[in-house]
Amino acid sequence: MKRIPLLISCLLIVLIMILTSCVQKDSPSTDPMPDESPKETASPPQTQSDVIIRLGMQFQEDSVMAVYQAAKEKFEADNPGAVIEFVLQERDLYDTIGLPTLLDGKNSPDIYFEWAGQRLIDRRAEGYLAPIPEMQGEWKEMFFESAFSGSTFDGVPHMVPQSTDISVMIWYNVKMFEELNISVPATWDEMLAACEKIKAADKIPFAVGNKGFWPAGNWGGHIISRIVGEEAYSKALMGESDFNTPEFAKAMDYLKELGIKGYINDDMSALTDEEAGVLFYTGEAAMYPLGNWVVADMNANAEEDFLADYFNLPAITGGKGDQTSVMGVNTGHVINAKTQHHDLCVAFLKVFSSTENLISMAQQGYLPPAKGVVTTENADALMVKMMDETLAGTGTVVAPPDTGYNLEIANNLYEAIAKALTGQYDSTEVLASLDEANAHLR
Amino acid sequence: MKTKKPLAAIVYYLVMIIISAYCFFPMIWMVYSSFKTNLSIFKYPLALPESVSFTNWKEAWRIGKISVYAGNSLFITATTTAALLLFSAMAAYAFSRISFKGKGVLVSLFVLGLFLPIQSYFIAQNAIINFLHLGDSFFCLILPYIAMGVSLAIYILREYFSAIPTEMDESARIDGAGHAQIFWAVMLPMVTPGLATAGVFTTLSVWNEFLLALLYIQNPDMKTLTVGMYAFSGQHSTDYAMLFAGLSMITIPMILVYFMFNKVIVSGIIEGAVKG
Amino acid sequence: MQGMIRTRKNQKNELSGYLFVAPAFIIFLIFVLLPVLITFAYSFFRYDGFNPMQYIGFSNYSRLYLDKIHLQAYMNTFIYIALTLVLEVGVGLTLAALVSARFKGSIFFRTAFFTPVLLPGVVVGMLWTFVYNQRFGLLNALLKAIKLESLAISWLSNEKTALIAVSVVSGWIFAGYYMTIFYAAIQRIPKDLYDAADIDGASPIRQFLYIKLPLIMDMVVVAVLLCVTGAFQGFDLFYVMTNGQPNHKTEIVTTWLVRIVFNNRDVGYGSAMSVVLTLIVLIMAVGINKARRHTEY
């Protein structure tokens, strides 16, 4: 009998050892090797009393990080004793398992980047989303009203807007279009005709890098919403109705046709979205269906003389949806409800969303939904076009499956889209197995 | 036989050289591609570099933070291996030399640990790590790695301890030595080959581990070499030359170490695996 | 008096026994044994990792049989096992035959063939992703160099080749490993057995097949079982190279499990998957031991 208390005390001793050691380990400065890159965590010499505000986000191009860095420096000058630390994750990870594990972990970020819509509803249910009642008056009025859709709960904003991302637009190689005598297609059929010309010239019509599933998923989702209509699209994605309907089957057939005709690079599923970008920038592919952030990527990776423009997904005759619809989503920064430093978070976000700072973001290819930001004086002509033509020209903004709706259904839909795009599967069968995969969510 | 058939020898060596090429050519290609530009990798994948410049290597070293990740991996591997060897040797000593109640149960639990796949516990292990607030410290890898490795190390070391004749420690006991002294001064030095086997096996498994390191470490500055390299490839998926440089930087030192200590390493891996 | 001293000594002895085992056991208990039990418990609940757990009996288990991807993951795993048996154990055996043929320089080739074993799976996976790349990959470049352009495809995104392509990489890593195991076993065969064969004039191939192979059969059995259990636990290569793409043709149990638990946050269902996988691996592991005991002589 004596060994039981002994075992328990041993257990306790080890537990205490573990706990104390991890308390000592609290700061990552116990790293055996000093951090060599000054960009990410460098900060002025810290004193013990420094408050660290962690900002969780995806990796960004250096030029975008410079904007964050400028805001950080301004904030730190205004708030002595507070330090911003960027916690960066690669994009596909952050979108999926990365952010939840980050929030769950010990160094949970105080502020983090998010997409409006279902993701925020989930964060709120998990207890990681704080209301931002400070967001009112002048601060709120600098943004367009639409900037808060998908992030307002009980009438209170929960996110500081950063950009209204257009998730799907069709980028095209201007010179190649000229050489092949292709004009910007206004309808789906014109687009297919263009593809045929491009293919005849031995080029790839669409460069798609679908390793992460969302690039073709967003694009396919947009096409589907145009054909089945926004309501049917959103009902199915919320799990309220089946996918296996004649309408969806028709939409899937449109995707299947792209696959059968060989309009997409055949290593689609092996490439990342950036790798597909290389095909586009090097002139191997004519079109590149992806979001507005391509501007930043293009500035960093394409040759100077590379000329690209974009068009919105062309109208699909007979489609039930709004044929001018844009697939887009509000993005921004939210405050973790578990933070100890709500006021400092608000202070930083105020700095970050200053008009001056938002203009810098616009110069990096973002579309801040704020007044007087994306204008010809301070932004790329393409950005102004997105703001004034594409976003202003539509009455319908459709949320991408993975940000607006149930994430698991969205992922299942993405897989169905990837399958359809191979051109090798029967559309009805694809949809039937999609419903099957969603069945347990009912 | 050696002189009888020169033709057979020629065929034999030809076959062996072809197989060696199959083993090494991907790595050789990786190393020389790391000196090329992205454009020439794309256009002339097989061509040798025009000149040898370490620009890509420097870039990979800096941007890929390989020094940071290698430092983290080194720290985690060294700590895990040291602690695991000590704890396993202690347990193996007790199992082979001390009789106490419940020993049989404990031994069979450790034997069970030999067979449990990582998939059987990593879901809840994650929850326990969060519960103990170990997330994003090196302990959230070191402790699970120890837990996963003790079974095998105890198993190997127990055989070595049991092979030592009991007269050795009997005589020490008559001289008045306690278990701690006997273990440390008499027995431990005699199982060095066992420690080497278990040590090599642990070091390599920890150094190469990916799944847990991917799931448990979020802080970018605390990533291990495998996860860091993976993250690096995700961020710079189009910078092929730099990625080749990064991969070369990880691979070449490992191969050099292997060539230097090849006997110990091979026997460590094989013995560890066949026992397990 | 005498008796009392003995008991006290025994107690002290017992105490040191526990103290010696304690550090290893406590860590093992907290980070392996408890999690196994908790995972088993999770498998009866609907649980997303945050919100309260909800008891649902065996629902997670019955869902396993309806989840087509889960079944396909097992199917893929079986194909992968079959391929690796050939590419790892079969090739390993052939290599062992080659390096144990009495030619000079075997140590050089043994060292060379073993090299890939020690590289991290992630690094190997990334390297071979490049080797298989459609545009600048080594494989397609070689095919083009020998005028076989028509065969140059995108190996990892083609539904017919993806799983085979990953298995080949697995073979590239582990063939040398099994070779080393078999070589060690061959070295233990008494020399006089070959001398007799040499006198009879048996060819090296016949010698291998009729003398060496039967004598190392126990190791072949161990290797087959190591290969099978190892394949069940594979993850790194698949995650890095394809992560289930294209269309789940390379989805194996662990990649799917990670997706269910960490992407979909379906901890309860994932736990049921893990319980089933554990049982399968345990049954096989018991098989290993039985087989080994059987062949020991």
Whether the CB of C98 is below 8 Å from some CB of chain B: the reply is yes
* Better-predicted residue by pLDDT, A441 or A86: A86
pLDDT at A42: 40
| Distance, CA of C97 to CA of C289 (rounded, Å) | 26
pLDDT at A276 over 50: yes
Confidence of residue B107 (pLDDT cuts 50, 70, 90): very high
What confidence category does residue C74 fall into, taking pLDDT thresholds of 50, 70 and 90?
A: very high
Q: Report the gap between the CA of C129 and the closest CA in chain B (Å).
A: 11
Kindly state whether residue B268 falls inside one of the protein's structural domains: no
Check CB contact under 8 Å for B238 and A278: yes
Cβ atoms within 10 A of the Cβ of C85, count? Answer: 18
Tell me which residue has tokens 């191979």: A422
| Closest Cβ opposite residue A411 in set C14, C18, C263 | C263
Which DSSP letter does residue B48 get? P
- Chain A residues within an 8 Å CB radius of C26: 10-11, 14
Which of B42, B137, B212, B215 to mutate against chain A (most A CBs within 10 Å)? B137
| Paired tokens of B265 | 């390493």
Question: What are the structure tokens assigned to C130, written together?
Answer: 């490049």
Q: Are B25 and C138 in contact (CB under 8 A)?
A: yes
Residues 6+ apart with CB under 8 A from A301: A274, A277, A278, A281, B238
CA dist list (Å): B69 to A24, A166, B75, B77, B80: 21, 36, 10, 12, 16
Please report the residues numbered 82 through 111 in chain B whose beta carbons come closer than 8 angstroms to any beta carbon of chain C.
86-88, 90-91, 93-95, 98-101, 103, 106, 109-110
Q: Which residue of B has its CA nearest to C91?
A: B19
**How high is the pLDDT of residue C197?**
67
Quick one: which of C271, C276, C259, C269 has its CA closest to C59?
A: C269
Query: Which of C292, C98, C294 is closest to C186 using CA atoms?
Result: C98
How does the average pLDDT of chain A come out, rounded?
A: 85
Task: Please report the pLDDT score of residue B135 as a whole number.
Answer: 74
**3-state per-residue secondary structure call for chain A:** CCHHHHHHHHHHHHHHHHHHHHHHCCCHHHCCCCCCCHHHHCCCCCCCCCEEEEEEEECCCHHHHHHHHHHHHHHHHHCCCEEEEEEEECHHHHHHHHHHHHHHCCCCCCEEEEECCHHHHHHHHHCCCCCCCCCCHHHHHCECHHHHCCCEECCEECCEEEEEEECCEEEEEHHHHHHCCCCCCCEHHHHHHHHHHHHHCCCEEECCCCCCCHHHHHHHHHHHHHHHCHHHHHHHHCCCCCCCCHHHHHHHHHHHHHHHCCCECCCHHHCCHHHHHHHHHCCCEEEEEECCCHHHHHHHHCCCCCCEEEECCCECCCCCCCCCCEEEEEEEEEECCCCCCHHHHHHHHHHHCCHHHHHHHHHCCCCCCECCCCCCCCCCHHHHHHHHHHHCCCCCEECCHHHHCCHHHHHHHHHHHHHHHCCCCCHHHHHHHHHHHHHHHC
CATH number of the domain at B143, please. Answer: 1.10.3720.10
Q: Is residue B82 part of a domain?
A: yes
Contact status of B225 with chain C (Cβ, < 8 Å): yes
pLDDT tier at A117 (50, 70, 90 boundaries)?
Answer: confident
- Are B176 and B74 contained in the same domain? yes
* Domain count within chain A: 2
Residue A128 has pLDDT above 90, yes or no: yes
pLDDT tens digits for C259-287? 898 878 889 999 999 999 999 988 887 87
B75 shares a domain with B15: no
> Is A281 found in the same domain as A305?
yes
Beta bridge partners of A84: A53
CB contact under 8 A, A10 and C19: yes
Pick among C7, C10, C12, C26 to test the A interface (most A CBs inside 10 A): C26
Of the candidates B12, B103, B123, which has its C-beta nearest C271's C-beta?
A: B123
Distances (CA, A) of A369 to A68, A133, A366, C46: 18, 19, 9, 40
Assess whether B185 and B79 both reside in one domain: yes
Closest CA of chain C from B178, distance in Å: 9
β-bridge partners, A157: A152
Q: Do the domain assignments include residue B132?
A: yes
**Could you list the residue range(s) of the whole structural domain that residue B23 is in?**
6-58
Q: Identify the sign of the CA torsion A31, A37, A40, A44.
A: positive
Counting one residue from chain A and one from chain B, the pairs whose CB atoms sit within 8 A come to: 97
Is B33 found in the same domain as B120? no
- Indicate if the pLDDT at residue B100 is higher than 70: yes
DSSP-assigned letters across all residues of C182-229: HHHHHHTS-THHHHHHHHHT--HHHHIIIIIHHHTHHHHHHHHHHHHH
Task: State what percent of residues in chain C have pLDDT above 70.
Answer: 92
Q: Which fold has domain C59-295?
A: MetI-like fold (1.10.3720)
C12, C18, C26, C27, best to mutate vs chain B, most B CBs in 10 Å: C27
pLDDT at A303: 87
> Shortest CB distance from C50 goes to which of A14, A126, A415?
A126
Same domain, A116 and A189: no
**How big is the CA angle at B256 (ends B250 and B258), to the nearest 5 degrees?**
100
The Cα of C48 is separated from the nearest Cα of chain A by a number of Å equal to: 10
pLDDT category of residue A102 using cuts at 50, 70 and 90: confident
Inter-chain CB proximity B102 and A97 less than 8 Å: no
Indicate whether B185 pLDDT > 90: no
Instruction: Calculate mean pLDDT across residues A170-197.
Output: 96
The answer for residues whose C-beta is within 8 angstroms of residue B8's C-beta and 6 or more apart is none
Token pair for residue C114? 């073993």
Contacts of A105 in chain B (CB under 8 A): 130, 135-136, 218
Distance CA A166, CA A313 (A): 12
Instruction: Say whether A37 and B63 touch across the interface (CB within 8 A).
Output: yes
Q: Give the chain C residue nearest B230 (alpha carbons).
A: C122
The pairing of strands A326-335 and A160-166 is antiparallel
Q: Do residues B18 and B40 share a domain? A: yes
- Find out whether C258 and C70 touch, Cβ atoms under 8 Å: no
Instruction: Give the pLDDT band (50/70/90) at residue A413.
Output: very high
Subunit contact B221:A28, Cβ cutoff 8 A: yes
In the DSSP assignment, the letter for residue B215 is H
Residues of chain C contacting residue B111, judged by C-beta atoms under 8 Å apart: none
**Looking at the partner chain, which of A97, A266, A424 has a beta carbon nearest the beta carbon of C154?**
A266
Is residue C88 scored above 80 in pLDDT?
Answer: yes
> pLDDT-based confidence at A33, cuts 50/70/90?
very low
**Of residues C114, C144, C139, the one with CA closest to residue C128:** C139
Whether residues B43 and B149 fall in one domain: no
Q: Per the CB < 8 Å rule, is C263 touching A96?
A: yes
Name every chain A residue with its beta carbon within 8 A of the beta carbon of B133.
Answer: 19, 22, 106
Chain A residues closer than 8 Å to B67 by CB: 33, 36
pLDDT level of residue A18 (50, 70, 90 thresholds): very low
How close does chain B come to C159, measured CA to CA in Å? 23
**A2, A11, A269 member nearest C246 (Cβ):** A269
**B227 lies in the same domain as B124:** yes
Angle at A91 between CA A88 and CA A94, to 5 degrees: 70
B191 and B146 both lie in a single domain: yes
Q: What pLDDT is recorded for position B4?
A: 58
Q: For residues B91 and B146, what is the distance between their CA atoms, to the nearest angstrom?
A: 13
Residue B255 belongs to some domain of the structure: no
Nearest CA in chain C to B247: C123
Q: Is residue B97, in this structure, part of any structural domain at all?
A: yes
pLDDT at A365 over 70: yes
Per-residue pLDDT tens for A69-97?
999 999 999 999 999 999 888 776 787 77
Residue A387 forms part of a structural domain: no
| Among the partner residues B71, B219, B237, nearest to A28 by beta-carbon distance | B219
- Note down the domain range covering A185: 169-328+396-441
Amino acid A62: pLDDT: 81
My answer on whether B101 and B140 are in the same domain is yes
What is the least distance, in Å, from the CA of A73 to any CA of chain B?
A: 21
Q: Inter-chain contact B101–A31, Cβ cutoff 8 Å? A: no
Please check whether residues A271 and A420 belong to one and the same domain. Answer: yes
Direct distance between the N- and C-terminal alpha carbons of chain B, in angstroms, rounded to an integer: 39
Average pLDDT, chain B: 90
Residues of chain B found within 8 Å of residue C116, distances taken between Cβ atoms:
23
Assigned token pair, A10 = 């041993």
- State residue A11's pLDDT score: 44
CATH classification at residue A357: 3.40.190.10
Model confidence band, residue C256 (pLDDT cutoffs 50, 70, 90): very high
Q: A205 near A286, Cβ under 8 Å? A: yes
- The stretch B255-268 carries a mean pLDDT of 89
Q: Measured between beta carbons, which residues in chain C are less than 8 angstroms from residue B151?
A: 28
Q: Do A31 and B71 touch (CB under 8 A)?
A: yes
Cα Rg for chain C, rounded, in angstroms?
25
> What pLDDT does A23 receive?
39
Set of chain C residues whose Cβ sits within 8 Å of the Cβ of B211: 235-236, 239, 254, 258
Query: What is the pLDDT, as a whole number, of residue C109?
Result: 92
Report pLDDT for B173.
84
* Residues B112, B13 share a domain: no
Same-domain check for residues B38 and B168: no
Instruction: Give the whole-angstrom CA distance, residue A352 versus residue A364.
Output: 15
Number of structural domains found in chain B = 2
Task: Select, from the ranges B41-45, B60-64, C89-93, the one with the highest average predicted confidence (pLDDT).
Answer: C89-93
Quickly list DSSP for C10-62: HHHHHHHHHHHHHHHHHHHIIIIIHHHHHHHHHTTEE--SSSPPEE-TTHHHH
**How many angstroms away from the CA of A269 is the closest CA of chain C?**
5
Residue closest to B138 by CA, chosen among B73, B65, B67, B203: B73
> Scanning every residue of chain B, which has its alpha carbon at the shortest distance from the alpha carbon of C232?
B117
If you ran DSSP here, which 8-state letter would residue B137 be given? S
Q: Does B80 touch chain A (CB under 8 A)?
A: no
Domain boundaries defined on chain C: 59-295
Report, as an integer, the average pLDDT of A175-197.
96
Residues of A in contact with B219 (CB under 8 A): 28, 87, 107
Print burial letters for B169-186: b (CB count within 10 Å at least 16), e (below 16): beebeeeebebeebbeeb
Of A34, A413, C24, A278, the closest CA to residue B146 belongs to C24
Average pLDDT of span B32-60: 89
Measure in Å the smallest separation between the Cα of C296 and chain A Cα atoms: 39
Q: Residue B124 falls within a domain, yes or no? A: yes
Nearest-CA distance B269 → chain A (Å): 28
C123 interface with B at CB cutoff 8 Å? yes
User: What residues of A are in contact with residue B138 (Cβ under 8 Å)?
Assistant: 25, 30
Q: Does residue B264 lie within any of the structural domains?
A: no
Under 8 Å between Cβ of A334 and A112: yes
> Is B151 within 8 Å of chain C by CB?
yes
pLDDT at B177: 83
Neighbours of chain A (3+ CB pairs under 8 A): B, C
Instruction: Identify the pLDDT of residue C294.
Output: 55
B162–chain A nearest CA distance, Å: 25
Claim to verify: residue B132 and residue B202 sit in the same structural domain: yes
B chain contacts of residue A41, beta-carbon cutoff 8 Å: 221
